[in-house]
Amino acid sequence: MTWAERVRLQWRDLAIRGKGLTVVAIPLLPLLLTSGLFYANQREADKAEQWVAHSLQVKTELAQTLTLLVDAELGAREYLMTHSPDALAVYRGASAALPQTLRRIAGLVADNPEQIARLRKLPAIAQGRPLRSLIEYADKTPLDTPAPQDLLARSRATMTALRAAIAEIQAAEDTLLVRHTAEARTARRKGTALAIGGVCVGLFGGLMAALLFTSGIARRVRDLTANAGRLASSVALVALPAATDELGTLDAALQHSATLLQQHEAELLHRLVAKKAAIAELESFSYSVSHDLRAPLRHVVGFASLLEKSDGDRLSEIGRRYLATITDAAARMGRLVDDLLAFSRMGRAEMLNGDVDLNELISDVVSEMKREGGERDVTWTVHALPRIHGDRAMLRIAVLNLVSNALKYTSTRARAEIEIGCATPINGQRVLYVRDNGVGFDMAYADKLFGVFQRLHSSDDFEGTGIGLANVLRVVQRHGGQAWAEGAPDRGATFYVSLPAGSDGVQARAVAS
């Protein structure tokens, strides 16, 4: 294994936190290093510029010194010739300001012994100027007295020496200024180079970090996401390179989940096949039993009828009552067998699906219930209903059972109220409800309402076989819907069924109440 391969494997197995820190450190460390170098260089540049400003200030003070010396010279000469108080004031002002200027210059060049030595020459040279003697001479002589040429010559010589001394100091400062300016310019260029280099190094480090992130994290996350999608779609997962970091652990978990899911799917499929076989066998058995029971029941009813016709007069009152009980029980058993046969056929019948107008279907069922209800006082309220998609014949059986159930359990009411409408859709399915003001039921037993032969009221109070609501549930389930109920004892009940929506939505008209 080569060094590069070992590094690649170590990088792949590195924890995500370590990868993240590495990805951040790659561009950050060069940037921090160049930032430190740039800061140090910036301080050097600032220091060089401070020296440049210092030299410029020294030159300014030297120029001011020369100006004061010239002003004092001119003031004294003008006073000698004119005896003007203004000229005397100029002389005195320049002479008074000169020591302060020299002290400032001395403070500025205190770190430079050579300049200090040059500066100390100025007072000694200035002491040789006969300016005060010129002022005293002017004060003692009349205005038209000839000027003392020896004093003027000595003053000119002294001024020349002062100019030469100041020029020497300025030349030294010029040399320093050139050097400091060059140092500042070099530092600035170096800073610019460091800044550009830092940006380039940072960009390169960022590119390397992005490549590492892509190879170490992003691509693997994308592969894991794709595998998660395959797992959700029950498609075989793609094998990824093994790794010991968090992503490798996640990949192993996904692979393990896929294995468990395949095992569970196989087990579920096996159970489903077994359940379908058991249901088919049970339905076949129910159909056979129900079919085989019909002939004996017809015989019982038939012979009981013959017995009543032939020997009814000779039977005692108790005998006739027994015979009526036998006939009623056999008839009830016949209805039960018929309902059981219908329930069995409902699970095996082929569905003929299409759009069904619930307005028309409910109108037909309500009309039938009105005819069977006779003289009962029933208030029917039917709202606008939607079109649904399903088998019309099966749906009619379900609706008929719901409406007849409402009519049956309101038989104890002086005035029955039955309402049929459409509730809020659930999961894209239409919800039909049938509400009544009948005897209701206890919600604690709501789970038994749709079971076969499950009854919450005595058959002596309300006739029936306990198959009707079971048929409703089977029809609704074959349409992919659900059935449930709400109620309270003596406060009525509401039955709901959810069914697939048809193509036209809710119709604008309502069935006549």
Percent of the chain having pLDDT more than 90? 11
**Within this chain, domains 245-348 and 353-506 share the same CATH topology:** no
The pLDDT score that the predictor gives to residue 509 is: 39
**How far is it between the farthest Cα atoms of the chain?**
191
Mean pLDDT of 49-58: 88
Contact 90, 74 (CB under 8 A): yes
The pLDDT score that the predictor gives to residue 216 is: 61
What is the DSSP secondary-structure string of 177-196? HHHHHHHHHHHHHHHHHHHH
The pLDDT score that the predictor gives to residue 504 is: 57
The reported pTM is: 0.42
What is the DSSP secondary-structure string of 131-170? HHHHHHHHHHS-TTSPP-HHHHHHHHHHHHHHHHHHHHHH
> Regarding predicted confidence, which is higher, 302 or 168?
168
Residues 6+ apart with CB under 8 A from 365: 396, 399, 400, 403
Contact 217, 247 (CB under 8 A): yes
Residue 508 has pLDDT above 60, yes or no: no
Residues 6+ apart with CB under 8 A from 49: 180, 184
pLDDT tens for residues 180-227?
888 888 888 887 887 788 778 777 777 776 776 666 677 777 777 887
The pLDDT score that the predictor gives to residue 393 is: 86
CATH architecture of 245-348: Orthogonal Bundle (1.10)
Mean pLDDT of 244-261: 77
pLDDT tens for residues 396-438?
888 988 998 888 888 888 888 999 999 989 888 999 999 999 8
What distances in angstroms separate CA 219 from CA 208, 210, 222, 224, one per listed residue?
15, 11, 5, 9
Q: How many Cβ atoms from other residues are within 10 Å of residue 67's Cβ?
A: 14
The pLDDT score that the predictor gives to residue 51 is: 87
Contact 485, 496 (CB under 8 A): yes
Strand pairing report for 429-436 and 493-506? antiparallel
Tokens of 378: 């029933």
Q: Exposure of 376 by Cβ count < 10 A (0-12 exposed, 13-18 middle, 19+ buried)?
A: middle
Amino acid occupying residue 266: A
Tokens of 251: 């990949």
Tokens of 384: 């606008």
Amino acid occupying residue 328: D
Contact 55, 111 (CB under 8 A): no
- CA dist 412 and 374 (Å) reads 15
> Regarding predicted confidence, which is higher, 119 or 504?
119
Give which of 138, 160, 162, 159 is closest to 148, Cα–Cα.
138
For residue 228, the SS3 value is helix
Give which of 365, 358, 294, 338 is closest to 510, Cα–Cα.
358
For residue 376, the SS3 value is coil
Strand pairing report for 378-382 and 416-426? parallel
* Overall fold of domain 353-506: Heat Shock Protein 90 (3.30.565)
For residue 234, the SS3 value is coil
- CA dist 47 and 54 (Å) reads 10
The pLDDT score that the predictor gives to residue 510 is: 38
The pLDDT score that the predictor gives to residue 506 is: 45
Residue 381's pLDDT band, with cuts at 50, 70 and 90, is very high
Across 59-73, 436-450, 485-499, least confident range: 436-450
The domain locations on the chain are 3-217, 245-348, 353-506
Residue 332's pLDDT band, with cuts at 50, 70 and 90, is low
